[in-house]
Amino acid sequence: MMSSEYPLPGSGKLTVLYEDNHLLAVVKPPGVLSQEDDTGEPDMVNLLKQDLKERYSKPGNVFVGLVHRLDRPVGGAMLFAKTSKAASRLSDSVRTRSFDKIYVALVQGAPEASSGRLVHYLSKDAKRNIVSVYDRPAADAKEAVLDYAVVASRGSCSLVVVRLLTGRSHQIRAQMAATGCPLLYDRKYGAAAVEGERDIALWSVSIGVSHPVTKEWMTFRSLPPMEEPWNRFDAEDYSRGLEKLPASGELR
């Protein structure tokens, strides 16, 4: 099944990018948790379980497997498994880095190099929920690698496309801030203060993975909504951004 929308219990509408008996690719709204935590606030796993139960009139428990996570303030394409076998195989894809994840971000200023690979070592303070960035190996720090390319710059803001090669907590946020270019509205990592609450300018635009059963390579895409701050750039910029990072993972 291809892209469609359904009411999402407690959280507006659910946009389904793709669905079959094994996979469910959706657009995660910013501000919604990826999985349940101790706050008891709505999360994608339980919202999707409820949605599937209602849409298909399923009795009993519904299986929804979390394959990867998006930070709470991040929106965009997100993939879930509908069977335990699919969950296991997709988790293997994540672990072996054959799970392609591309994001767009709006950052303050512009990186010194228009494209490149960032390699840092990240250590997370779980109590403060913040990541420290090191240029070389450090105690309790994990290697973090991403490729990026600047798509366009307007005023004091740049549109950057990013491919994650590792999946560390707050990775894009912390690594871009380490270059002197924090994401717009990301106060935790040094962005300029603005009035009111704003979601950070980070969006999951593309997920690519081998189907856990058919082995066909599948790509699921979601462009950010054309509202502030994303409307500082146009749809052509975002489409061009995806072309900056070809499927091989090597920058052009």
Q: pLDDT digits over 223-236, tens only?
A: 999 999 999 999 89
Average pLDDT of the chain is: 90
Residue 8's pLDDT band (boundaries 50, 70, 90)? Answer: low
Examine the pLDDT at 5 and tell me if it is beyond 80.
no
pLDDT in tens, 35-79: 988 888 889 999 999 999 988 998 889 999 999 999 999 999 999
pLDDT the model gives residue 38: 80
The answer to the question of residue 226 being in a domain is: yes
- Beta-bridged to residue 104, according to DSSP, are 161, 203
Cis peptide before 225 (omega within 30 of 0): no
Q: Is the pTM of this model over 0.75?
A: yes
The residue length of the chain stands at: 252
The answer to the question of residue 230 being in a domain is: yes
pLDDT in tens, 201-252: 999 999 999 999 999 999 999 999 999 999 999 989 998 888 876 554 443 3
C-alpha neighbours within 13 Å on the C-beta side of residue 87: 11
The answer to the question of residue 248 being in a domain is: no
The answer to the question of residue 150 being in a domain is: yes
Q: For the range 218-226, what are the long-range contacts, defined as Cβ-Cβ under 8 Å and sequence gap of 24 or more?
A: 218/18, 218/23, 219/100, 220/17, 220/18, 220/25, 220/77, 220/79, 221/17, 221/77, 222/15, 222/17, 222/27, 222/75, 222/76, 222/77, 224/75, 224/76, 224/104
Burial of 164 (0-12, 13-18, 19+ CB in 10 A): buried
What are residue 107's phi and psi, to 5 degrees?
-120, 155
If you average pLDDT over residues 180-199, what whole number do you get? 89
The answer to the question of residue 131 being in a domain is: yes
The answer to the question of residue 249 being in a domain is: no
In angstroms, the CA 91 to CA 71 distance is 18
User: Number of structural domains, the chain?
Assistant: 1
The answer to the question of residue 73 being in a domain is: yes
**Domain containing 143 — which CATH number?**
3.30.2350.10
Which structural domain range is residue 81 located in?
2-243
Residue 195's pLDDT band (boundaries 50, 70, 90)? Answer: confident
The answer to the question of residue 251 being in a domain is: no
